[in-house]
Structure 1
Amino acid sequence: MRINHNIQALNAYRNLAANQSSISKNLERLSSGLRINRAADDAAGLAISEKMRSQIRGLQMAERNALDAISLIQTAEGALNEVHSILQRMRELAVQAANDTLEPSDRAAIQAEVDQLTKEIDRIADTTQFNQKILFSGSPEGKAFAETRSSAISYVGNGTWQGVVTAKPTNPAEFVLDFSRGFGMLSQDEIDKKTFTINGKVYEIDAKGDGISDTGHIAVNVTWNDNATDDSDAVANINSLLDALKNAILNNDSTFDSTSSVVGASDNNDNNDAIITNGQLRLVTAKPMSPKEANGINVSYDFDPTTEVKSLIVVEEQALVPETFTLTFSDVPKNGDVLKIDNLTIMFSDSMESGYSPSQGQGTATIDVRGKTVFDVLNDIEQVLEAAKADGTHQPVQALTGFSVVGNSLILSTDRTDDGGLFGSSNGLEFQIIDSDFEENKGKSLKLEMQIGANESETLEFELSVMDAASLGLARTADHKTPLSAGVNAQAGIDVSSSAQAASAAITVIDQAINTVSEERGKLGAIQNRLEHTINNLTTANENLTSAESRIRDTDMAMEMAEFTKNNILTQAAQAMLAQSNQLPQGILQLLKS
């Protein structure tokens, strides 16, 4: 018998600890409903379960994708249903116009309706959208490798979008009228009835006190020394006019703020040296103005600008708050595509290595797009912009305040305000996209790819044909005879008014258009039916895979409760045995008593 080591107690304690650990796991599984709460519970099972979860969630999203695809098809098919109705009405009108009981005026009335119906087909093709994706204008006009929603940038033809992005002004403009000594030396006769035209209002000087010449003018009543002989006389005359003109302008034009001020003319110590400090009227606008807005405030006068009065506009070309716009890349640029930002031209190539090349006030860069993703190209663009921004010698991107890349978007900002200059000669941030093969894609079908599976390449591809009036063979120029190529550009409808024979020929053309729309609707209906089967399959696969994942991950509550009950009883028994084993060393006391 031993005192220092109670082996029986240690054995009971070990079993008690193991039972309590088992109970803890039983309680965790029962309370969470999961058999695997951590990787240690079943490492292999966790790995299998997570793969199944990826598939399950992928199947759920694929089912939603398929439902969205059906919604898109239903939207398209609904629009074509109306096109069918329009075509049936046009055929009815053509049959009517082919009857020789009609007079030319009757056919003209029929032609007017046909023209409007043709333009409505174009409108439907141009405006039928699903999630802002235009469905029937083809592959598509207005869709380049990148696009921006900035209203300052627009399509100018030949696959080119361009514009000037500017910030809203945050500083007022200042108009300065500078009066020199020659003005102050003029006589009353020379100054009386002379005018200043500022912001469309005419201010007329009344130096003699006999009134102004035109009732539409605003009087500037001034006290004038008619016999100015030295510098002090000139200074007094100028300052008198400055105060009177300022008051007249502020009283009659709310464009200018009360902070407008007069900087009076002054003379040095020599009154006869014909040298004075010019007087100035500084008119400050009440609201912030860009150079373009300031230039819209015309300032003119009847005086000699070389010796008497000069005018100057002081306006900030930079704003305190920059304007930001986003360029979103939907595809990798192709060989020959171009992106111009300020005076930096970025060319995309599949045969030249990437690099930046500066020149005076300009910059060019080449980005190699071979084997790259959109994100790779955006990273290259960001590096080019960093190099151009750091080029303090040539400064090709002076108007670019900041830039960053977020996802598949390039975010640009500028603090330059609008000076009214056209693209190529403006103060703002000039921007241009050239998609080299954009025009080649006009009129092609819109290709769509639907992700209808949980894994890569599990897709459904289909096309939406161009359904504008030109593609249906119905669009004509204003003469009703010359056909137009693909595009929402119908000027008139097919000829049904020139003769019965022309109307009869139109019936065949309209029949062909009806057949084209019928084929497109039939194709869309078949795809919709296929997608409905796809959804049923996805739902079944999702259900079965969820069941399999549940068997791995979820707790069998009945079995776990039985296990919990067993472990609970064992724990209680182990506690009792631990108490008993703790009493065993007491027997040594009996030996000591003897």
Structure 2
Amino acid sequence: MKINHNIQALNAYRNLSQTMGQTSKSLEKLSSGLRINRAADDAAGLAISEKMRSQIRGLGMAERNSLDAISLIQTGEGALNQTHEILQRMRELAVQAGNGTLEEQDRTAIQNEIDQLTFEIDRIADTTQFNQKKLFSGSEKGHAFASVDSSKIDYTNNGTWNGTVSAPPSEPASIELVFDEAVGGLSDTTTPSQIEGKTFTINNKTYEVVTSANPTSITVNGNIAVKVNWQEPLTDNAISSNIDSLMTSLKGAVEANDTVFNDPSNPVLNSTIMTATDSDGLTEGSPISGKLILSSSKNMSVAEGKEISLDLSGFTAVKAYEPGTTTPATTLTGEPTSAIFESTQLTFGSLPTASDEVPYAGDELKIEGLTIRFSHSPQAGYTGGPSATLDIKGKDLFEIADSIKSVLSTAQSEKPSVVEGLSSFDVVGNTLVLSTNRTDDGSTNGLDISMKDVNFEAYKNKDLELDMQIGANDSEVLKLSLSVMDAGKLGLARGADGSFLGTGINAVKGVDVSSSEAARMAISRIDNAIRLVSEQRSELGAIQNRLEHTITNLTTANENLTSAESRIRDADMAKEMTTFTKNNILNQAGQAMLSQANQLPQGILQLLK
């Protein structure tokens, strides 16, 4: 008999611990309903189950994708149904116009209806959308070698984009009005009647000087009154007082009547007065001048300032200058630079062709005065002039973006005038980020960006190709092609000169039915248009039927895979309950035996009595 080591108790404790662990696992499975709650429960089963789960969830999403595809097809097919109705009516009118019993005015009325129906075909093609995706206008934007995130860079024509990105202004625009002694009067010959009626025209509002004691806000001439307390200009002090009174009254009148200089929604008074000063206070008749700086209540660019005009022809003694200069001005002057930077991003992407090279040889990117040409011949990147050539052969998009960054860096250090508007630039992956702090002056300010894609026109107005993901795996794609369905593609659109137009150009006139012969030719053209629409609708209907079978297959596969995954992952509750009951009984027995084993050393006490 031993005291220090109770082997029987240790044995009972070991068995009890194992039983309690198994009981705990049974409780976990019973409470979760899952046979596998962690990888340790079944490592291989967990891996198989997760693969099945990805397939099950993919099948569920593929089913939704297929339903969306059917909705898209139904939207397009519904639009083409109306196009068919229009064509049938046009054919009916063409048959009517071919009848020799009609007079010229009768055919004119028929022609008017055919023209309007043609316009509607174009409208349907232009506006039929699903999730903002135009269905029957084709690939109207083509596939440019880079996308620009700024709406200021617009497509012009022939695969070319142009635009200017400008920084938002951070300072108000202003103009400096200089009032000198010629305004205030040099002698007692200047009387109130001589200053009365002088006018300023600022931002298309006319302000008129009034010297009467109690003037109305509007003068008899319909102008805004500028009240001046006029003194007889016998001294320099009187002249200064006259100038200050005139400047103060004009400033108050402008701010009270023009929101450009005092906007109630943004009440910031930027206009200031520099009171009239005597250049030599000891000598009468010395030069005197004051300044009124009229400034906009909000920040304005150079271009915005140019819209605020000023006309001093009614008071030629007052001069207008650009602030801080002696340069004459007739509009407000805005700051050419801003404390705020504006950025735009050019992201290079792939074209759907056999080659992955983007951009292609012959494409161009122009930033300010620097033109970057892409080529397949190894030439120097930048030679110090207004152009650079990049060898793109064998380079990926990231390398091309880095090469452009290098060219810009060299140009900025060697010939900064070429990229004057470019404040900073950087590359993030295959995206070129360009920033400027120059505001818009309507012509040269801001950052000028141009792109020319030599392959763009090859993809413009082609059929719209859509890839429908109708399976859980990457290769399970259905390709849907939607043809352009405008009047030009259908052969019914005519221009102003009567010639037939091509795809993508909206009609000015419909097919000609002005004579019996023209009407018979129109019937043939309309028949061909009906055939084209019928072919497109038939294709859409066939794909819709196919997708309905696809959805049935997806739901069946989803059900079967879910069942298989359930056999691996879900717990058999009856079996698990049996195991739990067994372990629960063993727990009770183990606890009783552990208690008995702990009592065995008590026998030692009997030997010690």
The TM tier, using the shorter chain, reads 0.7 to 0.9
* 1:366-515 pair list within 5 angstroms: 366=390, 368=392, 370=394, 372=396, 376=398, 380=402, 394=416, 396=419, 398=421, 417-419=439-441, 421-422=442-443, 425=444, 427-480=445-498, 482-497=499-514, 499-515=515-531
Task: Give me the whole-angstrom Cα distance separating, in 1, the residues matched to 2:341 and 2:424.
Answer: 7
Paired position in structure 2 for 1:223: 230
Q: Please tell me whether the aligned partners of residues 33 and 573 of structure 2 are also in contact (alpha carbons under 8 angstroms).
A: yes
**CA shift in 2, pair 1:152/1:530, >3 Å:** same
Give identity over the alignment, percent. 55
Can you list the C-alpha shifts for 1:130-171, whole angstroms capped at 9, x where unaligned? 111111112223664555675534321112233334465565
**CA shift in 2, pair 1:247/1:553, >3 Å:** closer
Task: Give me the whole-angstrom Cα distance separating, in 2, the residues matched to 1:344 and 1:561.
Answer: 79
**CA shift in 2, pair 1:2/1:351, >3 Å:** farther
Deviates more, 1:271-280 or 1:239-248: 271-280
Paired position in structure 1 for 2:205: 201
Task: Give me the whole-angstrom Cα distance separating, in 1, the residues matched to 2:128 and 2:74.
Answer: 11
Q: Please tell me whether the aligned partners of residues 401 and 432 of structure 2 are also in contact (alpha carbons under 8 angstroms).
A: no
**CA shift in 2, pair 1:264/1:142, >3 Å:** farther
Task: Give me the whole-angstrom Cα distance separating, in 1, the residues matched to 2:42 and 2:277.
Answer: 95
Task: Give me the whole-angstrom Cα distance separating, in 1, the residues matched to 2:27 and 2:455.
Answer: 66
Task: Give me the whole-angstrom Cα distance separating, in 2, the residues matched to 1:271 and 1:178.
Answer: 23
Q: Which of 320, 336, 359 is matched with 1:310 structurally?
A: 320
Q: Please tell me whether the aligned partners of residues 299 and 311 of structure 1 are also in contact (alpha carbons under 8 angstroms).
A: no
Q: Which of 266, 281, 284 is matched with 2:277 structurally?
A: 266
Q: Please tell me whether the aligned partners of residues 188 and 224 of structure 1 are also in contact (alpha carbons under 8 angstroms).
A: no
| Count of aligned pairs | 578
Paired position in structure 2 for 1:242: 247
**CA shift in 2, pair 1:368/1:63, >3 Å:** farther
**CA shift in 2, pair 1:292/1:118, >3 Å:** same
Deviates more, 1:91-100 or 1:262-271: 262-271
Deviates more, 1:380-389 or 1:514-523: 380-389
Q: Please tell me whether the aligned partners of residues 98 and 504 of structure 1 are also in contact (alpha carbons under 8 angstroms).
A: yes
**CA shift in 2, pair 1:413/1:566, >3 Å:** farther
Q: Which runs of 5+ in 2 are unaligned?
A: 263-268, 323-331, 352-357
Paired position in structure 2 for 1:334: 359
Say if 2:46 is the partner of 1:46: yes
Can you list the C-alpha shifts for 1:320-378, whole angstroms capped at 9, x where unaligned? 7766777677646431444556667666666669x985969x896859485746xx489
Can you list the C-alpha shifts for 1:165-207, whole angstroms capped at 9, x where unaligned? 4465565433321234565566638866543221223334568
* 1:14-33 pair list within 5 angstroms: 14-33=14-33
Say if 2:121 is the partner of 1:114: no
**CA shift in 2, pair 1:389/1:573, >3 Å:** farther
Can you list the C-alpha shifts for 1:379-414, whole angstroms capped at 9, x where unaligned? 759966995999698384756689896x99888776
Paired position in structure 2 for 1:289: 300
Say if 2:563 is the partner of 1:563: no
User: Secondary structure in 2 aligned to 1:100?
Assistant: coil
Deviation at 1:562, TM superposition (A): 1.0
Deviation at 1:103, TM superposition (A): 0.3
**CA shift in 2, pair 1:294/1:118, >3 Å:** same
Q: What residue identity is the alignment partner of 2:359? A: K
Q: Give the alignment's TM-score, normalised by structure 2.
A: 0.82
Paired position in structure 2 for 1:64: 64
**CA shift in 2, pair 1:412/1:54, >3 Å:** farther
User: Secondary structure in 2 aligned to 1:264?
Assistant: strand
Task: Give me the whole-angstrom Cα distance separating, in 2, the residues matched to 1:382 and 1:586.
Answer: 91
Say if 2:134 is the partner of 1:134: yes
Q: What residue identity is the alignment partner of 1:460? A: L
Task: Give me the whole-angstrom Cα distance separating, in 2, the residues matched to 1:284 and 1:266.
Answer: 22
Task: Give me the whole-angstrom Cα distance separating, in 1, the residues matched to 2:58 and 2:413.
Answer: 48
Q: What residue identity is the alignment partner of 2:190? A: Q
User: Secondary structure in 1 aligned to 2:608?
Assistant: helix
Q: Give the alignment's TM-score, normalised by structure 1.
A: 0.84
User: Secondary structure in 2 aligned to 1:178?
Assistant: strand
Q: What residue identity is the alignment partner of 2:459? A: N
Paired position in structure 1 for 2:549: 533
* 1:550-589 pair list within 5 angstroms: 550-589=566-605
**CA shift in 2, pair 1:364/1:539, >3 Å:** farther
Q: Please tell me whether the aligned partners of residues 338 and 434 of structure 1 are also in contact (alpha carbons under 8 angstroms).
A: yes
**CA shift in 2, pair 1:36/1:156, >3 Å:** same
CA RMSD of aligned residues (A): 3.9
Task: Give me the whole-angstrom Cα distance separating, in 1, the residues matched to 2:26 and 2:340.
Answer: 62
Q: Which runs of 5+ in 1 are unaligned?
A: none
Q: What residue identity is the alignment partner of 2:230? A: T
Q: Please tell me whether the aligned partners of residues 327 and 409 of structure 1 are also in contact (alpha carbons under 8 angstroms).
A: yes
Task: Give me the whole-angstrom Cα distance separating, in 2, the residues matched to 1:137 and 1:590.
Answer: 105
Paired position in structure 1 for 2:312: 301
**CA shift in 2, pair 1:214/1:358, >3 Å:** farther
**CA shift in 2, pair 1:302/1:505, >3 Å:** closer
Q: What residue identity is the alignment partner of 2:473? A: N
Paired position in structure 2 for 1:549: 565
User: Secondary structure in 2 aligned to 1:188?
Assistant: coil
